[in-house]
A and B are shown apart, each in its own frame.
Chain A
């Protein structure tokens, strides 16, 4: 029989899991790009990858402390944003889409190739970079929590660190888009020419937005690798599409939307995947194998993206007047 309690408990764990936090932060970065500025960044996986590898490589290869390693990842993503932005921000929106998706793939291929194996670990990726981060943990050793949320001190430390970053990023975003700067950015989304006519340098504003969202992405990459190891195959374009699904679910031009979208997305996905897997085991779905059940989640995410964009483009929390899709 299906153990419903286990399914619910697994789904409930996703509410505060570091993966949820990482996706929420990456989606928030994408909200800055896509929701507020109207930039079609399809390379968020690349920003996350640079954050993750920047952190891991500077810890393992250079032996840097945690703060320097995080800054290195952030720096790498700023450089990446500049490289992407300089050729494309003057062009029409879909050029940026093609270039960012291509650039993210370039980054992934560079980290996957055998040529840089001593530094990147090629397809096997990297591990063993968590020592410095674990040493900063103020929580004494032991197991804490209640209900489904019982973790050891490292797992709690990762969760606290991850969600604090999400909270800080959300506060920054909220302040930014209440400021004059944010109004200019939203103006660019609505009508670039009008903003240009007011004497603003649209190009620079877009570049700043690309950098801010990219930095959020790279920090999300750091959170993402704390409970697991860095493996290049995690950063395929599918990752970016998942983040888009989260963003569209929550509402593209909102601050809380991406965060709550990420929680809803992961709770539903965990519950549904668990349910299908169990249902296959107990023979409710005789036409599916276990492997096929695992693929069903991608099909559902794809369908969800289509249906949300067609029927509720503003997402759950979005305001219909503030649609991200203007052109």
Chain B
């Protein structure tokens, strides 16, 4: 537990935040029955948009802490209630500054967690009320103590997180790469397949309340089905029309845009949790590793091994590689190219769905644009490994995943994707065919 406590809060914060969200929901339900005892909610009925949070010290709520919220010409003050919670309604979306009045904290206590290096006023933070209409902001309060995790521990933890992230990225990247290899399509709508997996797990696991071991397989089957529908309803007819690769790529961009906002229409802009995502109590091992992390990595590795076996050892897998290499030659030697492409799409859909579910546990949370957030990293992974090579995509994804996580040791975490994208451009400069790609593909 000591290790868990000294773990940097950047990755854990969202989980705690999620717990707060859930707890807040319960609290809201309770309050609607009982009279609102604590005066910790201001203007929630009056305004549509909400900023809320929790003030606590070592997991104990702090009551009576004063906060002021300013922005967009609007200003309001609130005190945290008996349970440490506070919430204010704000008139519009936009940026607000939340300031915690340190005078109202107990002696010797201060806001310690900063969001950036050299931030002199950690008690004042900027928040944005975006599409979802509500924002949660928690202050991390301690006895003036700072984060003292040693560099080695931090590196190990980042590496571990990076490995986890890289593995789930690989699931998405292999599908993307196989589709590219067999059909030549740079499918920008792949991100929506990823999101679909997360959304379906949410639908069956949370909304319908099925147990998660049942909800995930259902979500995977539906994802694979969506992959099949993608090919059967759109890409196969377009291939039949003899459409060029670049128009197809632009069609996929249009599809991505339309489907992404269709998701948002259905599920809204909120981030919602899958069952079990908020389990932080089961921390084991060296650096606060949770069962979800272990399970996520285990599943990724097993599935990736399965894909490797399929590609290397089975007849249809060999056929897939043959089609990737040269579709005309493959067709001439009696391979049913359409069938191979169909199988590749089903696989890509299923793998992307799985990646989406694991990504939902890693971030954590399911939201309408979760797939789009990692689309460019997936492309970076595929390009880095070599366009169209499945194993290249795996290696590329692992490198990108670790790079993204490790780079947060040096650069601010809101820029962590920049490093991976810069590497992508540098790789193209030095070795455009990628790590495992062959030169003739790039001409």
* Contacts from A to B (Cβ < 8 Å): 40, 83, 86-88, 90-95, 97-99, 101-103, 105-106, 109-110, 112-115, 122-124, 238, 241, 244-245, 248, 291-292, 295-296, 298-306, 309-310, 313, 325-327
Contacts and interface: CB of A to CB of B under 8 A. Distances in A.
16 contacts: A87-B428, A94-B245, A97-B186, A101-B379, A112-B414, A115-B411, A122-B126, A296-B261, A298-B258, A298-B260, A299-B261, A302-B254, A305-B253, A309-B254, A310-B243, A313-B247
A295 B131 CA distance: 11
Given A95-B442, A292-B265, A109 B422 contact: no
A295 B250 CA distance: 21
Chain A interface, DSSP helix/strand/loop, else mixed: helix
B424 A296 contact: no
A113 B245 CA distance: 36
Contacts, number: 144
B425 A40 contact: no
Looking at B244, B256, B257, B425, which has the most chain A CB atoms within 10 Å of its CB?
A: B257
A303 B258 contact: yes
A142 B442 CA distance: 59
B432 A298 contact: no
A302 B238 CA distance: 17
Given A98-B383, A305-B257, A113 B425 contact: no
Given A94-B186, A95-B428, A313-B247, 10 more contacts: A88-B428, A99-B424, A105-B417, A105-B421, A113-B412, A113-B415, A114-B412, A291-B133, A304-B254, A305-B250
Contacts of B442: 91-92, 95
B27 interface: no
Interface residues of B, number: 52
Contacts of A90: 432
Nearest to A95: B428
Interface of B: 95, 115-116, 126, 128, 133, 186, 238, 241, 243-247, 249-251, 253-262, 264-265, 268-269, 376, 379-380, 383, 411-412, 414-415, 417-418, 421-422, 424-426, 428-429, 432, 441-443
B429 A302 contact: no
A99 B425 contact: yes
Contact of A109 (B258, B414, B428): B414
A244 B250 contact: yes
Given A92-B443, A93-B246, A248-B250, A298 B238 contact: no
Nearest to B256: A302
B186 A238 contact: no
A310 B251 contact: yes
A302 B425 CA distance: 28
Nearest to A109: B418
Contacts of A313: 247
Contact of A325 (B244, B260, B379): B244
Contact of B418 (A91, A106, A244): A106
Contacts of B246: 40, 93-94, 325, 327
Nearest to B427: A87
Nearest to B412: A115
B365 to A, nearest CB: 19
A241 B245 contact: no
